[in-house]
Amino acid sequence: MATSCISTRLSMRRALSVGFSEMRAMTSTSSALVLGTAASRTDTDDTLSPITDTLQIYVDGSFDAASRSGGWAFVVTQANLQIHVAQGTMTGSSNNSFEILSVVNAISWLENEVPARSALIWTDSAHVVEGSSRWRSIWRGNGWRRVRANSRERHRTIPDVKLWQELDALLERNPHVRIQLCKGHSGIRGNEDADAAAKAALTNVRQPSR
């Protein structure tokens, strides 16, 4: 594994999982995975047999401010072999939204397909790593509101609150999953593949019918 990747151990507590009312699916030709509409591929079902190797999962998100839509993707590898890819598109508010969403969908896939399997999730988003390892429990204890000196800002909910609540609940149920920071656009194959898949999903966005 590249030396530029920094491990971060997550603390786990329980939180309520909430839906994603502010986001909606953008495509309809692929099978639904977790949230919105997703395209997925598994190279070899046999590679998902229960063994002790830790899965390496690379995630990424992309966002187009003009259309207020974005793409998410995750790539699952085992012993340097790519065994599953999933991607999808939704409307959203920022690139951070889709960085978080890619992790949510990756852990949801793990929970459904290979429960209790150890996994390292690699993201190039420091926002996701910091939020998961440091701020998540603080936000939860503060009612998912901002932690600011300004009294007015303290009453405002954090950005992407429903996504963070969903991720919090998933991490509580899956303590065998760790999230790690990986330097983006540095030649790491899994990161490059996830980046390409997220951008491809966004490129294929079709405007919903009215």
Domains along the chain with CATH numbers: 37-203 (3.30.420.10)
Sequence letter at residue 42: T
Q: Euclidean distance between the first and final Cα of the chain, in Å?
A: 47
Predicted TM-score (pTM) of the model is 0.76
Q: What is the pLDDT along the chain (210 residues), one digit of tens a residue?
A: 443 443 333 333 333 233 333 333 333 223 333 344 445 444 434 444 444 589 999 999 999 999 999 999 999 999 989 999 999 999 999 999 999 999 999 999 999 999 989 999 999 999 999 999 999 999 999 999 988 767 666 678 999 999 999 999 999 999 999 999 998 888 899 999 999 999 999 988 644 444
- Please, are residues 96 and 160 in contact by the beta-carbon 8 Å criterion? yes
> 162: how many CB neighbours lie within 10 A of its CB?
18
Maximum distance among all Cα pairs of the chain, rounded to whole angstroms = 55
> 176: how many CB neighbours lie within 10 A of its CB?
11
Helix (H) or strand (E) holding 138: helix 136-141
